[in-house]
Amino acid sequence: MNILAIESSCDDTGAAVVRDGREVLSNVVASQVPEHILYGGVVPEIASRRHCESISGVCSKALSDAGLTLKDIDAVAVTAAPGLIGALLVGVNFAKGLCFANNIPLVPVHHLRGHVASNYISSPELEPPFLALIVSGGHTHLVNVKSYTEYDVIGRTRDDAAGEAMDKAARLLGLPYPGGLNMDKACANGDPKKYVFPFPRVDGSEYDFSFSGMKTAAINLIHNKEQKGEPLDIENIGASYMCCVVKVLSSKTEKAMDLLKPSRFVIAGGVSANSVLRREMQALCKRKKIELFMPELRYCGDNAAMIGSQGYYEYLAGHTAGVKLNAFATMDIDNDFSE
């Protein structure tokens, strides 16, 4: 089964063709980074306009790269939630038009389910059930993935997402957007023990995350140095900050592992590309004797291939939609799209 997948939830316009959920025939991403870099972050209105301009060409290229035409496509999968609403609507409306005009089934896909599915592409042997840590610019979730379409959220962030916390600190350090990625590149050789940021106390659930205290501590440290006229020590502050963020992620993950005793563990989302996190998770899984799965770096960030992979399993579960499908800025991962 060939699925044409479309992803436009944030600042990347993506289209891909994926066969039977696992084989990527093409994967095209039109990045908007050079434009948003001018503003230090994603400007939603600009993102929507660029999606409108790019989407048709990106889909045509995905088809031609795969050596296929629309006649070979059995379903169209599209990210319909969560994300920037204007950006999502471009993909959803384009997909609806394509399906209606060509009489092709339409499959709405939850963006975070897509991130989890990036691992199905990188690790063909991976099947649910497993525990997943989803770390992106907008979300930090520990999820029990019970089947391809059934999820229990074990823990989530109470405030900032891990990626957001890294992006904000990176911006203050003068690193360009996307901050997390550039902090990873610029600070990989810094001293991770030189500065200590407070480990959060989260009342109520031992599996929930919080990053706002850590972020405030970093802001204060950086402002303090600036006020005293001291050099910023970017490399060591960044390395220490990444280390502390990752410690929070791994300690909560370990607690969830103790609760669920999974035999497999998966990381997913833009921050799963982080070198410190990948190393820490390798060490944790080795200690716990749990099999670790990580997406290849090219599938960590937003891409349409992961939507095509998850779209296949949603289609098999009967989760299709009609022309009334809407996009949603927020939606829990355990919610199905139903009309």
- Site size toward ligand KG4 (CB under 6 A) is 19
Of 51-59, 130-138, 152-160, 303-311: span binding Zn ion (CB under 5 A):
130-138
Q: For helices 212-228 and 234-260, give the axis angle rounded to 10 degrees.
A: 170
By rule CB under 6 A, what string of x and - marks binding of each residue 113-152 to ligand KG4?
Answer: -----------------------xxx--------------
Task: Tell me if 280 contacts ligand KG4 by CB under 6 A.
Answer: no
Contact (CB, 8 A) for 339 and 106? no
Q: Which entry of Zn ion, ligand KG4, none binds 167, CB below 5 to 8 A by partner kind?
A: ligand KG4
3-state secondary structure of 194: coil
Give the residue with the Cβ less far from ligand KG4, 96 or 111. 111
Contact (CB, 8 A) for 314 and 107? yes
Q: Is the peptide bond before 231 cis (omega within 30 degrees of 0)?
A: no
Query: What b/e string do you get for 260-281 counting C-beta neighbours within 10 Å, with b at 16 or more?
Result: bebebbbbbbbbbbbebbbebb
Which residue in 129, 170, 138, 188 sits closest to 40, CA to CA?
A: 170
Of 140-148, 161-169, 202-210, 324-332: span binding ligand KG4 (CB under 6 A):
161-169
Task: Tell me if 180 contacts ligand KG4 by CB under 6 A.
Answer: yes
Instruction: Give CA angle at 69 (66, 71), nearest 5°.
Output: 130
* Dist. CA 88–CA 61, nearest whole Å: 20
Q: How far is the CB of 295 from ligand KG4 (least distance, A)?
A: 10
Q: Residue 209: count other Cβ atoms within 10 Å of its Cβ.
A: 27
Within residues 288-327, the interface with Zn ion by CB under 5 A covers 302
Q: Which of 5, 6, 10, 294 binds ligand KG4 (CB under 6 A)?
A: 10
Q: How far is the CB of 79 from ligand KG4 (least distance, A)?
A: 10
Q: How far is the CB of 178 from ligand KG4 (least distance, A)?
A: 4
Give the residue with the Cβ less far from ligand KG4, 63 or 249. 249
Residues that bind ligand KG4 (CB under 6 A): 10, 136-138, 163, 166-167, 178-181, 184, 269-271, 273-274, 301-302
